[in-house]
Chain A
Amino acid sequence: MIPERLVNWVALLGLLAVPLWAVVVDEPFTITLVTRAVILAIAAVGLNIALGIGGLVSLGHAVFFGIGGYAMGILAYHAQTFTSLNLIGLVIPGTKSMPVIWLVAIVISALAAWIIGLLSLRTSGVYFIMITLAFGQMFFYFAISWSAYGGEDGLSIYVRNGFPGLNTLVPIQFFGLCLVLLCVVLFLNARLQNAPFGLALNAARQVPTRVETVGLNPVRLKLVAFVISGAITGLAGALFADLNRFVSPTMFSWQLSGELIVLIIIGGVGRLYGPVIGACLFVALEHWLGGLTEFWHVYLGLILLAIVLFARGGIIGLLTGKEGAHV
């Protein structure tokens, strides 16, 4: 069987090689496609911290994706219309700077995750899934009715936001930026997973009573995991909006939350690179199957079914011969 490390490196090199090849043969659309996969991977890495390590099946992670998206949309909208944002007496100017937008996206998503987590973590199992889903729907309908920022139609941003020293309008440069962020997030995830926090969280998923009997609070551990998770997914949302130069309420949709879970399951729940492999496969299927048939989701469903039934560890579990999936 193939060592997991090798699978990870191949995935990462593949992510680097395909867009470079696309530059050579001048196929910018392929670069956009891979960028999309990288951004979805970042969102899913975020979710995987809550889901894979913490065992929190959140069907509301689109909330953070959407918050990131709207953080970008709103700030850039005010910048492009030369207006400013009035927030209960506080006048905030818009911005076209990615780092500032990212920071705002991360902070607001983290805050939202903290509040949602505080309320949702009073429950567990199916109830947790339902509550997170309900929060997702709340944000979705709020965005639809928020006419100041496009309501149902969403917001278009004319020019992609900037990053110091880069020309983000060049697809490969924006891709590079996203790939670096994916690597950063993966590195954070790897460190966190092996740190005392990760060890305790991992145990809190498996046996909360044990964690309590050694004097730790499993709910608090899960809450912090949920906040970190939401913040990362929020960052991905800001990038996603910048990729499309468009943000709309669909970023809050429960389908998106579901897709994030699906791609993690396909890649391998709790595996560091599970979200990466899952996102690549998901985008590839969406593209190829989506081009062949309108009902590509049916095929995606079949693949998911096959994996759940025959390969509990996802693609990575299948390749490395380690079945042990949790959740």
Chain B
Amino acid sequence: MSDAILQTRNLKKRFGALAATDDVSIDLRAGEIHAIIGPNGAGKSTLIAQICGGLAPDSGTVHLMGRDVTQDSTADRARAGLARTFQISALAMEDTVLENVVLGALGASGRPWQFWTRALSDRSLTAIAEAALERVGLIDQRHMRCAALSHGQRRQLEVAVALTLSPKAFVMDEPMAGLGAEGSHQMTALLDQLRAEAPILLVEHDMDAVFALADRISVLVYGKVIASGSVDEIRSSSTVRVAYLGEEA
């Protein structure tokens, strides 16, 4: 086997007549950011759902750290070291920002069966949670209700929750969406540091960020990987230009 942390082999998923994932084999190696780009509806989120659990592929496998996790539940994959951020925020809207990250720390601790101690007074949880908020720049908002956050702040919180898991690999679905120029900048800097801790499979529409960050890029169109390579290779590929980057070339 290769040294890939995360690996898909021949993943296939159909929704009726639509091939949403069409024989996708990609891998994520230690220390890298592997960007997945592609037009709307290309099947990027569908691919992520199969990698992280929640959507079962019709065929093909997902390996994490060399182990086949295709049949494992979402929670099992998370415990095995996979941290996912959602394109559409999946956060506890009625809870505070801090409570949302403490939930992550609690998941990582694997000890939710405590009925007596105060979660927010447990330093082993809040220390991890606050460190994560610090890194994404949300520490001042920690007592705000999640519902009161801006769209961009919710993206940051998604990333903060993933950080609390200290994962083996990150899988992020459009973390820059709605961040604005400055937010994007900060997020780019954060992801840049993060790759040393764990590699990132990054789905992103923001091409400046992708070209700045990615070690490798795979281009997904109609569920198929039509090209895969370094930033320069993808930039200069005529297939990619025609299929996707047309307006940017």
Contact = CB atoms under 8 A, between A and B. Distances in A.
A215 B119 contact: no
Contact of B120 (A191, A194, A212): A194
A203 interface: yes
Contacts of A324: 94
Contact of B103 (A194, A195, A214, A326): A214
Contacts of A211: 103, 107
A302 interface: no
Contacts of A84: none
A214 B108 contact: yes
Contact of A215 (B75, B95, B117): B75
A79 to B, nearest CB: 34
Interface string B98-142: 011011101110111111111110100100000000000000000
Given A214-B104, A214-B161, A215-B108, A195 B78 contact: no
Contacts of A194: 118-120
Given A194-B118, A195-B118, A202-B95, A212 B112 contact: no
A302 to B, nearest CB: 29
B52 interface: yes
Interface size, A (range):
20 to 34
Contacts of A210: 90-92, 103, 161
Given A213-B84, A216-B107, A197 B92 contact: no
Contacts of A326: 94
A203 B92 contact: yes
A199 B107 contact: no
Nearest to B167: A215
Interface in A151-208: 191-192, 194-200, 202-203, 206-207
Interface string A240-267: 0000000000000000000000000000
Contacts of B91: 207, 210
Given A199-B102, A210-B103, A216 B90 contact: no
Interface in A286-327: 324, 326
A32 interface: no
B175 to A, nearest CB: 14
Residue of B83, B102, B104, B115 contacting most chain A CB atoms (<10 Å): B115
A145 interface: no
A196 B108 contact: no
A324 B148 CA distance: 13
Contacts of A200: 103, 106-107, 112
A221 interface: yes
Interface residues of B, number: 42
A299 B180 CA distance: 54
B112 A209 contact: no
B115 A195 contact: yes
Nearest to A200: B112
Contacts of A196: 106, 111-114, 117, 119, 122, 125
B57 interface: no
B47 to A, nearest CB: 16
A212 B118 contact: no
B133 to A, nearest CB: 15
B114 A197 contact: yes
A68 to B, nearest CB: 21
B46 interface: no
Given A213-B52, A214-B103, A207 B90 contact: yes
Contacts of B186: none
B165 A215 contact: yes
B53 interface: yes
A30 interface: no
A137 interface: no
Nearest to A198: B119
B93 interface: yes
A289 B90 CA distance: 46
A217 interface: yes
A221 B74 contact: no
Interface in A207-242: 207, 209-217, 221, 224
A116 B49 CA distance: 31
A197 B112 contact: yes
Contacts of A214: 78, 103-104, 106-108, 161, 164-165
A195 B117 contact: yes
Contacts of A206: 92-95
Interface of A: 191-192, 194-200, 202-203, 206-207, 209-217, 221, 224, 324, 326
Given A192-B115, A203-B103, A206-B92, 8 more contacts: A191-B115, A202-B92, A203-B92, A207-B91, A209-B86, A213-B75, A214-B164, A215-B108
24 contacts: A191-B116, A196-B122, A196-B125, A197-B113, A199-B106, A199-B119, A202-B95, A202-B99, A203-B92, A206-B95, A209-B90, A210-B91, A210-B103, A211-B103, A212-B73, A213-B78, A213-B83, A214-B103, A215-B79, A215-B107, A215-B165, A216-B112, A217-B75, A326-B94
